[in-house]
Amino acid sequence: MKNGKETSKVIDAILDTNIIIDILRELPIAVQWFRSQRAKRLAITPIVWLEALQGTSNKVERDKTFRLLQEFQTEYMLRDDQQWAMNQFMQFHLSHNVGYEDCLIASIAVRLDVPLYTRNVKHFAPLPDVAEMQPY
């Protein structure tokens, strides 16, 4: 552990839900970026998994989404991640309109000390130690 964080990097980054959605929508810039990342070990969180599947409206969309999600390792929350997320939500929800889902997603990236790829950098900016990056 380094500064209380896990440092054995079994992954290189966490993806936010909006990146998954862009890939599913076959947004050219997202697909190009995703293809360029094939050598990296990208992961998602259970929150991202759930949000992506929640956005489907039929079996075809659900199955397509599920196939894409299977390409990523899923990094699960620990008790400390949940506590970190709760603390950040309490501190930044009212002042910066930070959502609880974003706190939960960020908590894993912070613990693993890896970047969090998102198009919504402003959602994560108030949270301490989050290396939010806009990939495209």
> What confidence score (pLDDT) does residue 3 get?
52
Q: What pLDDT, in 10s, does the model give residues 46-58?
A: 999 999 999 999 9
The answer, yes or no, to whether residue 6 has pLDDT greater than 60, is no
Could you tell me the end-to-end alpha-carbon distance of the chain, in angstroms, rounded to an integer? 31
Q: The domain containing residue 90 runs over which residues? A: 13-133
Residues with Cβ within 8 Å of 103's Cβ and at least 6 positions away in sequence, in order, are: 84, 85, 86, 88, 89, 92, 127
Q: What's the predicted TM-score (pTM) here?
A: 0.90
For residue 129, tell me if it sits in a domain. Answer: yes
Within-domain flag for 5 = no
Q: What is the CATH number of the domain that holds 85?
A: 3.40.50.1010
Is 72 inside a domain boundary? yes
The pLDDT of residue 2: 46
Provide the pLDDT for residue 7: 46
Domain assignment present for residue 8? The answer is no
Q: Is residue 90 in some structural domain?
A: yes
Phi, psi values for residue 104, rounded to 5°: -65, -45
Span 62-74, average pLDDT: 97
Measuring CA to CA, how many Å separate 132 from each of 53, 101, 110? 23, 15, 10
Predicted pLDDT at 1: 43
Is the pLDDT score of 72 beyond 60?
yes
Domain count, the chain: 1
Residue 1 domain flag = no
Cα separation of 120 and 117, whole Å? 9
Closest CA to 106 of 117, 94, 116, 98: 116
Who wins on pLDDT, 74 or 6?
Answer: 74
Residue 25 resides in a domain = yes
pLDDT in tens, 121-133: 999 999 999 999 9
